[in-house]
Chains A and B, each alone.
Chain A
Amino acid sequence: GQNIDQPTEMTATEGAIVQINCTYQTSGFNGLFWYQQHAGEAPTFLSYNVLDGLEEKGRFSSFLSRSKGYSYLLLKELQMKDSASYLCAVKRTGANNLFFGTGTRLTVIP
């Protein structure tokens, strides 16, 4: 089977740093993805990790530890527009689809 766990909701202050965790269990692993989804809108791609380590892209970074089945998304210098849901998804070896977690709703407050 497969399972992804993310916190349901988080709140952080504008200008701060927030870390959104994702743990997964899957039979065969071939990549972990993070998507951002604003309320009522389509998801948009943020990052992709297939090897262990940190991938940095501007204010957003994503980390993966395959041995621990663990990833996090780090958002720096938070802005009000970062209020959104953040979806963690995994690709299984041999599968041609993504399995999504239920998402973490982040609220940025002034």
Chain B
Amino acid sequence: EAQVTQNPRYLITVTGKKLTVTCSQNMNHEYMSWYRQDPGLGLRQIYYSMNVEVTDKGDVPEGYKVSRKEKRNFPLILESPSPNQTSLYFCASSPGTVVSYEQYFGPGTRLTVT
């Protein structure tokens, strides 16, 4: 089944404790991205990647890192999480190297930083 998976689905952590949210897709998509979704603010893009070893900042990259060492994986790293990073996070992928009209979203990761 074609899908985007994220782990963990739920995470509660404390300020400053490094964490990684994994994202994997099995559709051989080249384009992948990370969004956060907050009430009243909608979906905002954090980082995206057009291919292996090619990443770029989205609209809200501060406090986040990403890497793209393999085509299928695009982990999101929070080196020192803070409470303002409490949010619902979505990973997405698209065919091709540019954002296509049809993005496939993962199920989401709900992160709480205390």
Contacts and interface: CB of A to CB of B under 8 A. Distances in A.
A40 B107 CA distance: 9
B33 interface: yes
Contact of B90 (A42, A99, A102): A42
A102 B39 CA distance: 8
Nearest to A6: B42
Interface string A80-105: 00000001010100001111111100
A42 B58 contact: no
- Which bracket fits the contact residues of B? 20 to 34
B108 A42 contact: yes
Interface string A33-53: 100000011111100100000
Interface residues of A, number: 20
Contacts of A99: 45, 59
Interface in A1-59: 31, 33, 40-45, 48
A86 B37 CA distance: 14
Interface in B64-110: 90, 98-99, 101-103, 105-108
A104 B25 CA distance: 29
B11 interface: no
B90 A96 contact: no
B103 A98 contact: yes
A97 B43 contact: no
A39 to B, nearest CB: 11
B56 A42 contact: no
Interface in B26-56: 31, 33, 35, 40-45, 48, 50, 56
Interface of B: 31, 33, 35, 40-45, 48, 50, 56, 58-59, 90, 98-99, 101-103, 105-108
30 contacts: A31-B101, A33-B101, A41-B108, A42-B90, A42-B105, A43-B90, A43-B105, A44-B105, A45-B102, A48-B101, A87-B42, A87-B43, A89-B43, A96-B31, A96-B50, A96-B56, A96-B98, A96-B99, A97-B45, A97-B48, A97-B59, A97-B99, A98-B45, A98-B99, A100-B35, A100-B42, A100-B43, A100-B44, A102-B41, A102-B42
